[in-house]
Amino acid sequence: MNEYFVRRANAILRYHDIPGKDVPILFIHGLGCAGSFDYPQVAAQEALERHRCLLVDLLGAGFSDRPENFSYSVDAHAEYLRDFIDAMGLKSFILFGHSLGGAVALSLAAKCRERIRTIILSESNLDKSSAGSTSKYIADFNMNEFLRDGFNKLIRESRTNGNTMWAASLSLWSPKAAYLISKSAADGASPSWRDILYSLECPRTFIFGEYSLPDADSEVLAARGVNIEIVKQAGHSMAWENPQGLAEAIERGIKSNL
């Protein structure tokens, strides 16, 4: 585990830096997750073992610090990640984002378009959160109510429903960080993350888990020139459900754009 000091938040970001000679891949995890929890097994797969892989725990998540006065918005995460890629010397890199981490990835991509070799998203947020999503569920709470009861209730319900991996990862989050990024997701952005994706000139790939289909976006995105990949025997939590399949889908996304 490595540390990077985020001056904007007076806090430490912790991350894995897995060596490799090929183009670096920056992995950005989703709500309730952590790079250190989700992606070591993905990065270790034969399909990606030649790439340098940077697995970050966003502030407020995993093993990173939980600054009390940070805004935890999607764009605020992207701002310090832009500083992070400077510090890591990433002149050209592949950007991967999962779920709400995809929105962070798109916000980051808009800030450093010329450096992005390829962007690869797995079931990313493209529009503001809608009913039925976890981020909308969280954002609909009053913040004090969520911090007092809602966060622990969500962990208990996830365990009861058998989503024990997510419950374990979520339990390491700052409740305030979970609430504020969810609120940011529910508010959306202007331009939207979808519009940012469409505007990017780099090659673009969007990954779906087989169990998440059918999804209307598979056709909508393909019509806009976005390469579509599918991970078999997996749903939204594809990094846990089929890490080899996700690594191979990422590799196909990289190769499809050569």
Cα gap 252→229, rounded to integer Å: 8
| Predicted pLDDT of residue 248 | 98
Per-chain mean pLDDT for the chain: 97
Residue type, 226: V
Q: Is 257's pLDDT higher than 90?
A: no
Work out the pLDDT band at 113, boundaries 50, 70, 90. very high
Do 85 and 4 touch, CB atoms closer than 8 A? Answer: no
Residue boundaries of the structural domains of the chain = 2-129+189-255
If we measure between CA atoms, which residue out of 197, 221, 203 comes closest to residue 258?
203
pLDDT in tens, 122-173: 999 999 999 999 999 999 999 999 999 999 999 999 999 999 999 999 999 9
Over pLDDT 70: what percentage of the chain?
A: 99
Do 57 and 15 touch, CB atoms closer than 8 A? Answer: yes
The whole-model pTM stands at 0.97
- CA-to-CA separations, 101 to 144, 149, 185, 258, in angstroms, rounded: 24, 25, 10, 25
Cα gap 256→240, rounded to integer Å: 24
Do 83 and 7 touch, CB atoms closer than 8 A? Answer: yes
Cα gap 159→145, rounded to integer Å: 21
Residue-wise DSSP of the chain:
-EEEEETTTTEEEEEEEE--SEEEEEEE--TT--HHHHSHHHHTSTTTTTEEEEEEE-TTSTTS---TT----HHHHHHHHHHHHHHTT-SSEEEEEETHHHHHHHHHHHH-GGGEEEEEEES---SS--TTSHHHHHHTS-HHHIIIIIHHHHHHHHHHTT-HHHHHHHTTS-HHHHHHHHHHHHH--SS-HHHHHHH--S-EEEEEEGGG---THHHHHHHTT-EEEEETT--TTHHHH-HHHHHHHHHHHHHTT-
Do 231 and 208 touch, CB atoms closer than 8 A? Answer: yes
Q: What is the CATH number of domain 2-129+189-255?
A: 3.40.50.1820
| Predicted pLDDT of residue 16 | 98
Q: Is 256's pLDDT higher than 90?
A: no
Cα gap 251→46, rounded to integer Å: 10
| Predicted pLDDT of residue 225 | 96
Q: CB 91: neighbour CB atoms within 10 A?
A: 11
pLDDT in tens, 49-99: 999 999 999 999 999 999 999 999 999 999 999 999 999 999 999 999 999
| Predicted pLDDT of residue 30 | 98
Cα gap 233→209, rounded to integer Å: 7
Work out the pLDDT band at 258, boundaries 50, 70, 90. low
